[in-house]
């Protein structure tokens, strides 16, 4: 297992590589165009408009996998789930379950710290209509592979949405740890193991405004996900059942 200093250094190098990425022309154009046009509420602000690196505790036992930066959230602020309603939902839940030191996130300089949790994403640039292509997800996958390898303490993974789960499983498949992603269908709150000795996986609906405004995902549901993650990390499964994958 790498030392804390080694993890910190490896993450700094990885994040520098992420921020410097220009692999996907469509995403490069889109992220920069959003920063040029801007939203009226943020007119005159200095948009980040670059790929967004991961964020959190290098020694984390909880890994949260999102989807991609929000157009006027992370693409504006430069930090995952920061400056938009998805982040309002997520960070409040993390704060109430002891993974964050404050319930809100508005900028990279707001003092937010995560404890025992780290946030990553399969796509680091904001995609048009929040829909990255398969090629764009594949182009970004090496970053997630490196990130997961560095975060050696992870014991529970919470993918936020079906695409996040598929992206995480694709890393395991690429690494030869699982034979097929289809063995693990998405289900909100359905806990499962992917392979012996690997982290437990506890998927959740993504806290997008589309899901929260329609009550497909309520705050209580999201808080319960992270409360269950806390129980798992404290070695107390309680009433949480681990689903068995079927061939």
The Cα-based distances of 50 to 23, 27, 71, 92, 149 in angstroms read: 12, 10, 11, 26, 23
DSSP states of 98-157: TSBSSS---STTS---BSSEEEE-S--SPPGGG---HHHHHHHHHHHHHHHHH-TT--EE
Report the number of distinct structural domains present in the chain: 1
Q: Supply the range of the domain harboring residue 42.
A: 4-236
Paired residues of 65 in beta bridges:
120, 159
Residues 6+ apart with CB under 8 A from 13: none
Given this model, what pLDDT does residue 244 score? 56
Asked if the structure places residue 84 within a domain, the reply is yes
- Classify residue 101: in a domain, yes or no: yes
Q: Report the CATH number that the domain containing residue 222 is assigned in CATH.
A: 3.40.470.10
**219, pLDDT greater than 80:** yes
Residue 242 lies in a domain: no
Per the domain annotation, does 247 fall within a domain?
A: no
Q: In which band, very low, low, confident or very high, does the pLDDT at 53 lie, cut at 50, 70 and 90?
A: very high
pLDDT tens per residue, range 168-187: 999 999 999 999 999 999 99
pLDDT at 196 over 80: yes
Q: What does R_g of the chain's alpha carbons equal in angstroms?
A: 17
Taking a C-beta distance cutoff of 8 angstroms, is the pair 147, 18 a contact? no
Residue 111 inside a domain? The answer is yes
Q: Is 79 part of a structural domain of the chain?
A: yes
pLDDT attached to residue 239: 52
Does residue 85 sit within a domain?
A: yes
The pLDDT, as a whole number, for residue 235 is 80
Residue 151 main-chain phi, psi, to 5 deg: -80, 70
Does the structure show a pLDDT above 70 at 25? yes
Within a domain: residue 246? no
- Which residue has better confidence, 215 or 235? 215
Contacts of 22 (CB under 8 A, 6+ apart): 28
Q: What is the mean pLDDT of residues 72-86?
A: 97
């Amino acid at each position: 297992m790498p030392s804390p200093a080694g993890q910190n250094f490896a993450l700094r190098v990885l994040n520098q590589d992420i921020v410097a990425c220009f692999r996907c022309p469509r995403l490069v154009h889109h992220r920069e165009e959003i920063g040029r046009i801007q939203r009226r509420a943020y007119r005159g602000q200095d948009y980040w408009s670059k790929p967004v690196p991961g964020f959190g505790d290098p020694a984390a036992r909880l890994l949260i996998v999102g989807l991609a930066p929000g157009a006027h959230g992370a693409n504006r602020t430069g930090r995952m789930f920061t400056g938009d309603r998805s982040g309002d939902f997520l960070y409040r839940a993390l704060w109430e379950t002891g993974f964050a030191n404050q319930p809100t996130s508005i900028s990279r300089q707001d003092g937010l710290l995560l404890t025992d949790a780290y946030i990553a994403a399969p796509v680091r640039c904001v995609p048009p209509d929040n829909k990255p292509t398969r090629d764009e997800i594949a182009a970004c996958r090496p970053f997630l592979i490196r990130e997961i390898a560095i975060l050696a303490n992870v014991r529970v993974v919470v993918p936020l949405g079906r695409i996040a789960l598929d992206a995480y499983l694709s890393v395991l498949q690429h690494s030869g740890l699982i034979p097929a992603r289809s063995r693990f269908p998405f289900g909100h709150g359905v806990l499962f193991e992917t392979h012996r000795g690997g982290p437990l996986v506890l998927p959740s609906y993504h806290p997008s405004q589309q899901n929260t405004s329609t009550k497909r995902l309520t705050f209580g549901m999201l808080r319960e996900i992270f409360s269950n993650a806390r129980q798992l990390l404290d070695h107390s499964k309680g009433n949480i059942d681990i689903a068995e994958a079927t061939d």
